[in-house]
């Protein structure tokens, strides 16, 4: 051993010494297992073994091995060596031979490591590995006596050492809080979780593929907005120092996308993260993903057709089928989806015949009987919507469009030509959940101003704090906005349905949690 090696080991020793102190002093007291592993690291380093390695030239994925050798039989040599890399998940030690499972991003495969094959010293080193360590191995593929496709390891390399212990192999990590807080562990030990997010990624790719294929342009508009608009929600407030400016995280990209339509873009979309400073539930995360798309010269009926095609396309690219299972219920996306007006749906599903001619006292009586808390100052439209949500919404398991929403809850939608109390707006429901919201956009700036004013007037104290009217948007509209169909789809909710997830947190990689302590 030369001086250079000596000083390297000395430096490593010093480093691990510091590390040991770091864990001892700044973290929770190291449990025995971690203490033992730290001790182990010290020993490995004293022997000149680097425990945090660098690159490893792997030449195949585990899933590719499985695919390539699915027909390999016992005793038949595969005849070629491969280099794979991954994380050690479990050991089955048998004295002078060891089986273990190696996991990479594509799958798991069994390793067979025998003293006879790799030699005394490497075998001893391999025996010192822990569950959770990352290693690279080189060896040939074969099938064991029990029929398990395996790699007969000729040599291995430690790529990175785990000094914390992975959760249990059999039950995995169940504690939801730990799963969300330490998502990396969730992925490591609960393989289904990665599938959920692979589906999410596929759905988003399919969405882009579909919209790009239809000539929509993907754009990016401000997330920091001086006036948050496009939805009714409380925003997050932030501040720009240099401009000394109060800014808000967007609650929707709507008003900026419409500016683009005014500017001459004909079809645009934004796959956006929006932020709403409101309650957290199994359906709500403070930041969430949606797509908004706008198409000039269209109305809400065109958007309905487009939506139906879009969702079917996404389902075919993710689930690969039109039959979904969600919360124990079968959902069938095939065929033409049902379309009802809101008032028609209330009559059909609730056997309640109401409209805007119905007297206020009657409406209050009906909502009262349904146990709905209604503010007496609310307009008829709001009460009708409450009745709809209570009576109809939970029943809309199969994909269903509900059309013609009351004007007072639809400030950005065009007035219905046949009923001034309604708008050309629809929502799509699947599995009892609202998935999409769309309308023929209101393009008359004078009417828009009137609606904004009504919103501000009828909003409560809290909403009024940020209930400023976006006059810059109105100005844009005054230059002339073409008739446009616009829509928003909640991506998280859609993915929940595609993956049969009960909570939005199960489809968001890092859902917001209160920090520990």
Closest contact distance (angstroms) between CB of 99 and RNA is: 3
Residue 503 interacts with RNA (CB under 7 A)? Answer: yes
Closest contact distance (angstroms) between CB of 427 and RNA is: 8
Closest contact distance (angstroms) between CB of 190 and RNA is: 10
Residues 9, 49, 131, 474: which binds RNA (CB under 7 A)?
Answer: 131
Q: How many CA atoms lie within 13 A of 18 on its CB side?
A: 5
Residue 95 interacts with RNA (CB under 7 A)? Answer: yes
- Count of all residues that appear for the chain in the document: 517
Closest contact distance (angstroms) between CB of 438 and RNA is: 12
Residue 369 interacts with RNA (CB under 7 A)? Answer: no
Residue 455 interacts with RNA (CB under 7 A)? Answer: no
Contact 506, 327 (CB under 8 A): no
Would you call 165 helix, strand, or coil by DSSP? coil
Residues 114, 154, 221, 458: which binds RNA (CB under 7 A)?
Answer: 114
Place of tokens 């993710």: 318
Contact 216, 267 (CB under 8 A): yes
Residue 97 interacts with RNA (CB under 7 A)? Answer: yes
Q: What is the DSSP string of 86-97?
A: EEEEEEEE-SSE
Closest contact distance (angstroms) between CB of 495 and RNA is: 11
Residue 486 interacts with RNA (CB under 7 A)? Answer: no
Q: Which pair of tokens denotes residue 353?
A: 């015949």
Closest contact distance (angstroms) between CB of 229 and RNA is: 12
For residue 204, give the nearest of 401, 492, 436 by alpha carbon: 492
Residue 459 interacts with RNA (CB under 7 A)? Answer: no
Residues 150-179 that bind RNA (CB under 7 A): 150, 165-178
Instruction: Give the separation between CA 282 and CA 68, rounded to whole angstroms.
Output: 42
Residue 415 interacts with RNA (CB under 7 A)? Answer: no
CA 197 from centre of chain: 7
Element (H, E) at 115: helix 115-118
Residue 130 interacts with RNA (CB under 7 A)? Answer: yes
Residues 78, 319, 387, 504: which binds RNA (CB under 7 A)?
Answer: 504
Residue 47 interacts with RNA (CB under 7 A)? Answer: no
Q: How far is CA 259 from each of CA 70, 118, 292, 448, 479, rounded to the nearest angstrom?
A: 56, 67, 13, 14, 10
For residue 471, give the nearest of 491, 490, 453 by alpha carbon: 453
Residues 283, 301, 317, 348: which binds RNA (CB under 7 A)?
Answer: 283
Closest contact distance (angstroms) between CB of 76 and RNA is: 12
Q: Which pair of tokens denotes residue 9?
A: 């080991």
Contact 117, 98 (CB under 8 A): no
Residue 457 interacts with RNA (CB under 7 A)? Answer: no
Contact 394, 375 (CB under 8 A): no
Radius of gyration of the chain (CA): 30
Residue 514 interacts with RNA (CB under 7 A)? Answer: yes
Interface positions with RNA (CB under 7 A): 29, 31-33, 36, 40, 90-97, 99, 110, 112, 114-116, 130-131, 144-148, 150, 165-178, 180, 231-233, 276, 278-279, 281-286, 288, 373, 434, 437, 490, 492-493, 502-505, 513-514, 516-517
């Amino acid at each position: 051993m030369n001086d250079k090696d000596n000083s390297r080991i000395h430096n490593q020793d010093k480093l691990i010494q510091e590390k040991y102190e770091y864990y001892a002093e700044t973290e929770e007291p190291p449990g025995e297992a971690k203490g033992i592993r730290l001790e182990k690291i010290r020993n490995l380093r004293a022997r000149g073994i680097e425990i945090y390695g660098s690159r490893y030239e792997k030449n195949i994925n585990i899933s590719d091995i499985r695919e390539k050798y699915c027909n390999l039989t016992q005793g038949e040599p595969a005849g070629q060596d491969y280099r794979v890399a991954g994380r050690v998940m479990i050991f089955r030690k048998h004295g002078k031979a060891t089986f273990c499972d190696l996991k990479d991003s594509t799958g798991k495969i069994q390793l067979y490591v025998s003293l006879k094959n790799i030699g005394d010293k490497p075998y001893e080193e391999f025996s010192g590995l822990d569950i959770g360590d990352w290693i690279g191995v080189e060896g040939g593929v074969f099938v064991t006596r029990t029929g398990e496709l395996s790699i007969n390891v000729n040599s291995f390399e430690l790529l990175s050492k785990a000094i914390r212990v992975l959760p249990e192999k059999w039950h995995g990590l169940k504690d939801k809080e730990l799963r969300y807080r330490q998502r990396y562990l969730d992925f490591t030990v609960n393989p289904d979780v990665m599938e959920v997010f692979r589906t999410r990624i596929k759905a988003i790719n399919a969405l882009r593929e579909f919209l790009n294929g239809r000539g929509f342009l993907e754009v990016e508009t401000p997330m920091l907005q001086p006036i948050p608009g496009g939805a009714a929600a409380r925003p997050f407030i932030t501040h720009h120092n240099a401009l000394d400016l109060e800014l808000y995280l967007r609650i929707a990209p709507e008003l900026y996308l419409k500016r683009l339509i005014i500017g001459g873009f004909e079809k645009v979309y934004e796959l956006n993260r929006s932020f709403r400073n409101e309650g957290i539930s199994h359906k709500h995360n403070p930041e969430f993903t949606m797509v908004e798309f706008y198409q000039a010269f269209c109305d809400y009926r065109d958007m309905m057709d487009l939506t139906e095609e879009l969702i079917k396309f996404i389902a075919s690219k993710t689930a690969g089928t039109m039959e979904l299972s969600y919360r124990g219920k079968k959902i069938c996306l095939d065929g033409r989806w049902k379309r009802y007006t809101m008032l028609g749906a209330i009559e059909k599903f609730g056997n309640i015949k109401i409209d805007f001619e119905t007297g206020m006292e009657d409406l209050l009586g009906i909502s009262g009987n349904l146990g709905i808390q209604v503010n007496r100052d609310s307009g008829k439209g709001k009460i009708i919507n409450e009745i709809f949500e209570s009576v109809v919404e939970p029943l809309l398991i199969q994909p269903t469009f509900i059309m013609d929403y009351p004007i007072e809850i639809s400030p950005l939608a065009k007035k219905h030509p046949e009923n001034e109390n309604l708008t050309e707006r629809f929502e799509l429901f699947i599995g009892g959940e609202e998935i999409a919201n769309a309308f023929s956009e209101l393009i008359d700036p004078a009417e828009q101003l009137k609606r904004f004013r009504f919103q501000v007037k009828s909003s409560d104290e809290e909403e009024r704090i940020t209930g400023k009217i976006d006059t810059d948007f109105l100005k844009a509209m005054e230059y002339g906005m073409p008739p446009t169909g616009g829509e928003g789809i909640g991506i998280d909710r859609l993915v929940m349905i595609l993956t049969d997830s009960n909570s939005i947190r199960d489809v968001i990689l890092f859902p917001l949690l209160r920090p520990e302590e």
